[in-house]
Amino acid sequence: MTGARPAGEGPVRGARGALWQPSPNFGERRGGARPALIVLHYTAMTSAEAALARLCDPAHQVSAHYLIGADGTLWQMVDESHRAWHAGSGCWGGCEDVNSRSIGIELDNDGSAPFAEPMMARLEALLVDLLTAYDLPPERVIGHSDLAPERKTDPGRRFDWARLARHGLSVWPDPAEPIVARSEHLPDTFRRAAARFGYPPADPALVLAAFRDRFRPAATGPLCAEDAALMQALARRWPAGDFG
């Protein structure tokens, strides 16, 4: 696929109806890896166009497969068969080279404002396509902060993970599931469940922050029984498992 536009024709289209805006920032998926995760990000920039320029600038050495603007415009920068440079260092479950095993989606948002409705609708449609194409379960849709809690906070606590879960495009814990440990065992209970769900062995306070941003965005204070119970519920139902 190229970025050339034949004379007299409309914009070049990438996959899944996206506008094709090629980035030079990509490589081969190592070891012939196939996408097994979908990673969501926010751009933290002034506009989708500014983010697009950065993601296509060889000087910055970053990219993603897709970018969705606040108005729902969808751009593709890297072919899905290639390794985009969006995840950096980090891991999820047994997957350490996340770039080789994922599709990266950037969302035009600064992390402090609600995510626009047209953007969310376009994201949902894109996720339906991707999960179907790669035969992935909804627990394989994660945030950048999930795989790299010591470095990243996106897509942040304003992102509506519960909405995705209601549409079968992500997961949400069942608050009715009881905790099985006494209060003095909460840190170990939370840590073990977090590792089973997929979180990396990072600073426990930062793992807690990443977990709360996604599943308990209004929570504050130290680790509590509800945190541990919800993390256990996630780990029991959706353990990260083997990525091969």
Show the tokens assigned to 136: 């992935």
Residues 155, 113 within the same domain = yes
pLDDT tens column, 193-219: 999 999 999 999 999 999 999 999 999
Under the banding of pLDDT at 50, 70 and 90, the label for residue 26 is very high
The catalytic residue among 106, 139, 150, 184 is 106
Of 172, 197, 221, which marks where a domain is finished?
172
Looking at the domain assignment, is residue 30 inside a domain?
Answer: yes
Show the tokens assigned to 187: 């840190």
Give the CA radius of gyration of the chain. 18
Residues 112, 188 within the same domain = no
Looking at the domain assignment, is residue 201 inside a domain?
Answer: yes
For the chain, how many structural domains are there in total?
A: 2
**What letter does residue 105 receive in the DSSP assignment?**
E
98/243 Cα distance (integer angstroms): 10
Residues 106, 216 within the same domain = no
Looking at the domain assignment, is residue 160 inside a domain?
Answer: yes
Q: What would the mean pLDDT of 88-116 be, rounded to a whole number?
A: 96
Catalytic residue check, 106 = yes
44/83 Cα distance (integer angstroms): 22
Instruction: Say if residues 84 and 124 touch (Cβ distance below 8 Å).
Output: no
Of 150, 172, 194, which marks where a domain is finished?
172
Looking at the domain assignment, is residue 226 inside a domain?
Answer: yes
Q: What is the residue range of 191's domain? A: 173-238
Spatial CA neighbour of 85 closest among 21, 144, 13, 157:
144
Give the chain's mean pLDDT.
92
